[in-house]
Amino acid sequence: MSGIKNTHKISAFDVIKIRNDFPVLRQKIYGKPLIYFDNAATTQKPRVVIETVSKLYSEYNSSVHRGAHYLSDQMTEMYE
């Protein structure tokens, strides 16, 4: 088995930067950073998703592929 090489490369990532992308993870529970493992029930959303969905609901909320009006056209275009 000496011919087997380990070709997996582990790259480091910035955990603090990733945590900062998720507003809910800024909380401290009993003085410690929140760790959320219940992804089968609900996955936490990064800030960019929260902001984008909020903008869609507040400025473009309409049916996709169902309306014959400006907002529906805009929403369909963004969806596609």
Query: 3 pLDDT band (50/70/90 cuts)?
Result: low
**3 lies in some domain:** no
- pLDDT tens for each residue of 35-74: 988 888 889 999 999 999 999 899 888 888 888 888 888 8
**1 lies in some domain:** no
Count how many domains the chain has: 1
**Helices assigned H by DSSP within the chain:** 15-20, 47-55, 70-79
**67 lies in some domain:** yes
**7 lies in some domain:** no
**5 lies in some domain:** no
Structural domain of residue 31, as residue ranges? 15-79
CB 62 within 8 A of CB 69: yes
**49 lies in some domain:** yes
**4 lies in some domain:** no
**65 lies in some domain:** yes
Q: Is the pTM of this model over 0.95?
A: no
CB 64 within 8 A of CB 76: yes
